[in-house]
Amino acid sequence: MRNKWLFFILFYIPFLAGSQEYDGLQVDGRFLYDQCGEKVILRGMNAFIVYWDRDGSVHYPQIAKTGANCVRIFWQTGHDPEPFMPPADLDKTIQNCLKNKMIPMPCLWDATGEPLGGEMWQKCLDYWTHPEVMAVLKKHQKFLILNIANEVGQNNVTNQLFREEYKKAIDTLRNSGLHVPLVIDASNWGRAERYILDNAKYLIHADPDRNLLFSWHPWDNNTSTTRVDQFFEQAKRDTIPIIVGEFSNTDVFGKAFAYPDIWRHIIERCHEYQNGYLPWWWSARDNEAIHQVTQDRLFGNWVNAPWGEEVVIGSEYSILNTSVRPKPLLGQACFSSVNETDSTQDVLIYPNPAKDAITIYIPPMERAVIQLFDAWGQLIGKRTGVSTVQMDIGEELSGIYILRVSFKGKQYHYKIIKQ
């Protein structure tokens, strides 16, 4: 074992480095993780924010009563009275969502059903990368998820085009300095899950941050339990991080599903496979009232029985009964004590005790997240890297710290002595 590590240290370390800046939510394998290294299984609502309740002052406190940990925020680049949606308004609605202890997931609707690669698609990318908008996104990177654009492209999108355009979007956003999880909707109005199953692996490897989620919107009238099960099972088998970003009690046109209880099956499978879901939607305009779960946006004013009440609070798989808010979002410490010392010989830490810096050696070519916690369980440092990561501790006070090393879906903890 030590000879293998000596060879690795001498020959591989000079070529490897880790990212040292981003301290937000991170996808690893099939799952999203918080700054404590705990899974974040999204449970929340779609909310029509931009026109009816732009700062979310009505929606967010009511949705928060469900215990939701996320809100998918309906946003647009602009409209006739306001050709450019003010970045200050985006900033305010994100702040209010966070104030109510929920992860904001803003999404642009301008390109819904529009050609992937077309004018409206580019308009979405231009909006996100506008310097003032990008500054807002970076300001909230710690708890932000960005849904690039809603349901872009119809059924004629090729896999090649899907890959090319979303790789362009990923490159554009990452090169702008944004490292948050990016959500990619399936094409064909979000309904064709094949775009996720066929292209997710390629796009994950194309993302330098490996921080992507893929969203399916099962609106087809003939969506069956078999189809749902096959999607979840293949996503699990292929290690694809998925969410169900929209679904309802009827199909998109308000017609009863061929399989009437399909939405119940969806939330059960999301619970079983530990995947996120966000029902469509909290409260709506008259022409969307068939899908809403509340009347007048108020918690407890359930409509469209049994859909509204059951999906939010009634089912054992409801938002209320399955949602967990991340500790960092609540301002809580990651640990209640420092007595977490499970470890593995596959990780080497040197030196320990240390004065200025420690170097963490991980199995060759494995990507890991390294987190340093103080004795009170507060996160004080984070690094990511492949094979080797260095962490400076020179400015920390002398004492005992906990180092968490996460890779291949597992977590290991080590006591570090700072001299």
> Do 310 and 318 meet the contact criterion of CB atoms below 8 Å apart?
yes
Q: Is residue 389 part of a domain?
A: yes
Q: Strands 379-386 and 18-19, how do they pair?
A: antiparallel
- Rounded Cα distance, 229 and 15, in Å: 43
- Rounded Cα distance, 335 and 81, in Å: 49
Q: Strands 31-33 and 44-47, how do they pair?
A: unpaired
Place of tokens 């029985």: 305
Residues 76 and 168 in one domain: yes
Domain stop point among 272, 307, 325 = 325
Q: Is residue 235 part of a domain?
A: yes
Instruction: Find the mean pLDDT for residues 285-313.
Output: 88
- State the pLDDT confidence band at 195, using cuts at 50, 70 and 90: very high
Longest CA pairwise span in the chain (Å): 70
> Do 70 and 94 meet the contact criterion of CB atoms below 8 Å apart?
no
Number of domains in the chain: 2
Q: Is the model more confident about 281 or about 365? A: 281
Q: Is residue 35 part of a domain?
A: no
pLDDT of residue 340: 44
Taking the C-alpha atoms of 217, 220, 222 and 227 in order, what is their torsion angle to the nearest 10 degrees? -30
- Rounded Cα distance, 229 and 409, in Å: 23
DSSP state at residue 287: G
- Rounded Cα distance, 13 and 380, in Å: 25
* Displacement of CA 300 from its chain's centroid (Å): 28
Residues 315 and 358 in one domain: no
CATH code of the domain in which 7 resides: 2.60.40.3080
Q: Where are the alpha helices (DSSP H) in 44-156?
A: 59-64, 87-99, 119-129, 131-139
CA distances from 299 to 2, 59, 263, 320 (A): 60, 9, 20, 12
pLDDT of residue 288: 63
pLDDT of residue 342: 57
Domain stop point among 292, 325, 358 = 325
- How open is the CA angle 292-156-149, to the nearest 5 degrees? 45
Residues 278 and 413 in one domain: no
| Tokens describing residue 141 | 């990177």
Place of tokens 């593995």: 344
Residues 295 and 149 in one domain: yes
Range of the domain at 185: 41-325
% of the chain beyond a pLDDT of 70: 91
The radius of gyration computed from the CA coordinates of the chain, to the nearest angstrom, equals: 22
Residues 394 and 259 in one domain: no
DSSP state at residue 145: -
Residues 83 and 221 in one domain: yes
Residues 305 and 384 in one domain: no
Beta strands in 145-283 (DSSP E): 146-147, 182-185, 212-216, 242-244, 276-277
Q: Is residue 30 part of a domain?
A: no
Beta strands in 237-307 (DSSP E): 242-244, 276-277
CA distances from 81 to 51, 120, 132 (A): 11, 18, 20
pLDDT of residue 373: 87
Residue type at 107 in one-letter notation: C
Q: Is the model more confident about 296 or about 61? A: 61
Residues 343 and 208 in one domain: no
pLDDT of residue 380: 83
pLDDT of residue 12: 34
- Rounded Cα distance, 250 and 258, in Å: 9
CATH code of the domain in which 141 resides: 3.20.20.80
Highest mean pLDDT among 108-117, 301-310, 355-364, 370-379: 108-117
DSSP state at residue 213: E
* 200 CB burial (10 A radius; 0-12, 13-18, 19+): buried
Place of tokens 């963490």: 360
Residues 296 and 377 in one domain: no
Q: Is residue 32 part of a domain?
A: no
- Say if residue 76's pLDDT is above 80: yes
Q: Is residue 24 part of a domain?
A: no
Residues 307 and 344 in one domain: no
* Displacement of CA 404 from its chain's centroid (Å): 21
- State the pLDDT confidence band at 406, using cuts at 50, 70 and 90: confident
Instruction: Find the mean pLDDT for residues 202-215.
Output: 97
Q: Is residue 136 part of a domain?
A: yes
DSSP state at residue 312: I
Residues 284 and 309 in one domain: yes
Q: Is the model more confident about 335 or about 302? A: 302
pLDDT of residue 345: 67
CA distances from 28 to 166, 222, 326, 384, 389 (A): 19, 33, 16, 11, 17
Look at residue 172 and give its three-state secondary structure: helix
pTM for the predicted model, two decimal places: 0.83
DSSP string, 341-358: ----TT-EEESSSBSSEE
Q: Is residue 23 part of a domain?
A: no
Q: Is the model more confident about 290 or about 8? A: 290
Domain stop point among 305, 325, 345 = 325
- State the pLDDT confidence band at 411, using cuts at 50, 70 and 90: confident
DSSP string, 30-56: TEEE-TTS-B---BEEEE--TTT-TT-
Residues 392 and 374 in one domain: yes
Does an H or E element contain 392, and which?
strand 388-392
- Say if residue 228's pLDDT is above 90: yes
> Which residue, among 159, 246, 174, 236, has the nearest Cα to 210 in the 3D structure?
174
pLDDT of residue 408: 77
- State the pLDDT confidence band at 352, using cuts at 50, 70 and 90: confident
